[in-house]
Structure 1
Amino acid sequence: MNTIINNIAIEKAKTSKINEVDFDNLKFGHVFSDHMLECNYKGGKWQTPVVKPYQPIVLDPAAKIFHYGQSVFEGMKAYKDVDEKVWLFRPLENFKRLNISSKRLAIPELPESYFMDGLKTLLEVDKDWIPKKAGSSLYIRPFIFASGNGFHASPADEYKFIICTAPSGAYFAGEVRVLIEEKYSRSANGGVGFAKAGGNYAGQFYPTQLAIEKGYQQVIWTDDNTHEYIEEAGAMNIFVRINDTLVTGPTSDRILDGITRKSIIELAKSENIPVEVRKITVSEVVEAAKNGSLKEMFGAGTAAVISPISGFGYKNEDYELPKFDDTYASYLKKRITDIQTNKAADPFGWRYEVK
């Protein structure tokens, strides 16, 4: 039976898969909730979103997503506190960035109400899928892709906006060792590095695989022109602590404006942690590692929030980072996750209650 919430039609799944799921042993992004949201763009406008049972998507072989890669996405999480209240973290930032990415790839921008009301409706329908175990969350994947057909190299005339969700346990990357890239680039000036475009990630896989074969888990991306400047860590923004100062590169055509990144910067400044947003040279990091002033390096992103780096390789030499308690990484991660899960006050207005 169909119902209506927030003016969005809902087609409920006949049966739920929830009782088949072991919520104590959830891998990241492997189990999917009962429903998804779908909204089609055709005839020059976005149609009304619909919540429907999670199911395969049927596409024509000539759909332009397969040929010209018009695809953008976001990553978000929903949390449930001890009082069963549901929370999001800065969702409007995800909406804004999705449209920034869409515009760069000539995808029609989405109305805010379709994103927010659609997301809230989907979470209301699948609220039982939001884990309550500490460290767990409901991972949310909004994405838009070209569904219109044709082999002509031009923007599609039809698109799909979909939101799928996946209950996930705590994301622990463990001891991450990284290789500073000297040949390959993630993005270039004038390119799409600042957008969350699917192709950005596809282009990372091969250089990352080469790094894995050398015994590392991830790549530190450097600038496309000189490879002298550190830019990102795998699929995450990167922070470097030199003595007591936290340093991260400025956003640009090449660097994603990460929501976790900007939250870390704002939080650190509020805690009187010295922060510098500036270009970071590889030589500066190597010299700091040699003279002992390099205290920490960590990646920042939605999945792990903060992922500490234990060491890095560069020009066939490995450098170890010191191990000590009370790191910026552990402190800032706890502060952010406590805000996200309603365990601490939110002086920034980042937390968004779904009701």
Structure 2
Amino acid sequence: MTMLDIKIELTTKPKEKPAPDELGFGHYFTDHMFVLDYTEGIGWHDGRIVPYQPLSLDPSAMIFHYGQSVFEGLKAYVTVNNEALLFRADRNFKRLNNSNARLCIPEIDEQYALEALKQLVSIDREWIPSAPGTSLYIRPFIIATEPNLGVHPSKNYQFIIIMSPSGSYYKEGINPVKIMVEEQFVRAVKGGTGEAKTGGNYASALKGQQIADKEGYSQTLWLDGKENKYVEEVGSMNIFFKINGTVITPALNGSILPGITRDSMIQVLKSKQIPVEERRISIDEVVEAAHQGTLEEVFGTGTAAVISPVGELKYLDEKIIINNGEIGEVSQMLYDTLTGIQNGKIEDTFGWTIRL
């Protein structure tokens, strides 16, 4: 497939754009979306950019019954020089194919998907907000569309990209949030779908999030599904701990999503000569470090929030206050560095940005 394969139908009814202070996260959507079909025996075909619109699916479409779906999340930004750019979009499509393999979904052409995304963003460029802390959130996803109740991989799929102008993911913004360690439920296990970005992982996490919400916490910190001992992820983010000068994040073990922001943070830390380790870390080690006064910072990382400092951690009946409930020096540096690269204020020496 080439760019010549993408048909374009522009909307005749452009939507009114929301004010920057009304954005929130994931509430508004741009005028257009990209759609690509898959048919067994033909492959991926009929790529098109069309006006944003509802989907028409058979009630027996397999996505509704067996959850065969994957998705990604990335962003487009307007720089201080009024250039539009994407951040590590190639890595998102590579990870999408890794998720596809786990969910028995046919691989997409990553370069074609990137070119389609670039064209879609160019068409809806005016939807990229420019206020500080805002961006255009991009959601590529694939769903099984074959109308069949038999339990097998679907023979038909749709790959769709929608986009949403967004503000801060958390109402707290960059201010520290409170998280709660989940003691009863688990998010994923090694050998399951934890390292794939699929909807079922998020559905299984809703119960823990509901419990955290009721107790006044922003997110759930998940422990491993085997021993209920080792830290894995926090909500929809990867987690980092700064203990006695060293930044530690759980090693990718088959049940943890390999976050692209996570990888970016690790590279930035190494470039700043800040010690960083990817290894197993137990909740007991975290609590002990807090008791000894060596737990200096805790923060989550992800596309939506970029970085989310943690000011309080609740485990069992203990509430642990981290860095006096304030954002830490390393957390602030990482946030400033990544957002600086994304908005063009800092030179991208890593080769992460794609200018449109």
Q: Tell me which interval the TM-score lies in, with the shorter structure as reference length.
A: over 0.9
Within the candidate set 325, 333, 341, 2:335 is matched to 333
Q: Which amino acid aligns with 1:296?
A: E
- Name 2:224's counterpart in structure 1: 223
**Most deviating of 338-347 and 54-63:** 338-347
Q: Structure 1 pair 156/16, CA: closer, same or farther in 2 (3 Å)? A: same
- Name 1:121's counterpart in structure 2: 119
Is the aligned partner of 1:347 residue 2:344?
no
- Name 1:73's counterpart in structure 2: 71
- Name 1:31's counterpart in structure 2: 28
Separation in 2, partners of 1:257, 1:20: 34
Separation in 2, partners of 1:86, 1:8: 21
Separation in 2, partners of 1:126, 1:22: 16
- Name 1:22's counterpart in structure 2: 19
Q: Structure 1 pair 173/264, CA: closer, same or farther in 2 (3 Å)? A: farther
Cα distance, 1:325 vs structure 2: 6.5
For the Cα contact (< 8 Å) 2:311–2:327, is it kept in 1? no
Cα distance, 1:7 vs structure 2: 4.0
Q: Secondary structure of the residue that 1:310 maps to in structure 2?
A: strand
Cα distance, 1:311 vs structure 2: 0.9
**Most deviating of 84-93 and 59-68:** 84-93
Is the aligned partner of 1:307 residue 2:308?
yes
Separation in 2, partners of 1:325, 1:49: 45
Within the candidate set 87, 91, 95, 1:93 is matched to 91
Cα deviations across residues 51-73 of structure 1 (Å, max 9, x unaligned)?
00000001000000000000100
Separation in 2, partners of 1:125, 1:205: 35
Separation in 2, partners of 1:308, 1:325: 6
Q: Structure 1 pair 214/326, CA: closer, same or farther in 2 (3 Å)? A: closer
Q: Secondary structure of the residue that 1:47 maps to in structure 2?
A: strand
- Name 1:143's counterpart in structure 2: 141
Q: Structure 1 pair 20/345, CA: closer, same or farther in 2 (3 Å)? A: closer
Q: Which amino acid aligns with 2:169?
A: Y
For the Cα contact (< 8 Å) 2:80–2:343, is it kept in 1? no
Q: Which amino acid aligns with 1:26?
A: L
- Name 1:237's counterpart in structure 2: 238
Give the TM-score normalised by the residue count of structure 2: 0.95
Cα distance, 1:214 vs structure 2: 2.5
Separation in 1, partners of 2:123, 2:57: 26
Cα distance, 1:25 vs structure 2: 2.5
- Name 1:189's counterpart in structure 2: 190
Q: Which runs of 5+ in 1 are unaligned?
A: none
Q: Structure 1 pair 307/94, CA: closer, same or farther in 2 (3 Å)? A: same
Cα distance, 1:149 vs structure 2: 1.0
Cα deviations across residues 42-93 of structure 1 (Å, max 9, x unaligned)?
1330003100000000100000000000010000000011332111111110
5 Å-filtered alignment, 1:232-271, equals 232-271=233-272
Cα distance, 1:210 vs structure 2: 1.4
Q: Which runs of 5+ in 2 are unaligned?
A: none
RMSD over aligned CA atoms reads 1.5
Separation in 2, partners of 1:127, 1:95: 21
Cα distance, 1:148 vs structure 2: 0.7
For the Cα contact (< 8 Å) 1:6–1:117, is it kept in 2? no
Separation in 2, partners of 1:289, 1:173: 27
Cα distance, 1:22 vs structure 2: 1.8
Cα distance, 1:352 vs structure 2: 1.0
For the Cα contact (< 8 Å) 2:297–2:328, is it kept in 1? no
Cα distance, 1:20 vs structure 2: 4.6
Q: Which amino acid aligns with 2:36?
A: C
For the Cα contact (< 8 Å) 2:3–2:116, is it kept in 1? no
Cα distance, 1:173 vs structure 2: 4.5
Separation in 2, partners of 1:64, 1:246: 43
Separation in 2, partners of 1:219, 1:325: 19
- Name 2:215's counterpart in structure 1: 214
- Name 1:47's counterpart in structure 2: 45
Cα deviations across residues 95-142 of structure 1 (Å, max 9, x unaligned)?
100000011000011012331111011011111111111211110000
% same residue: 46
Separation in 2, partners of 1:194, 1:138: 25
Separation in 2, partners of 1:247, 1:345: 26
Count the aligned residue pairs: 350
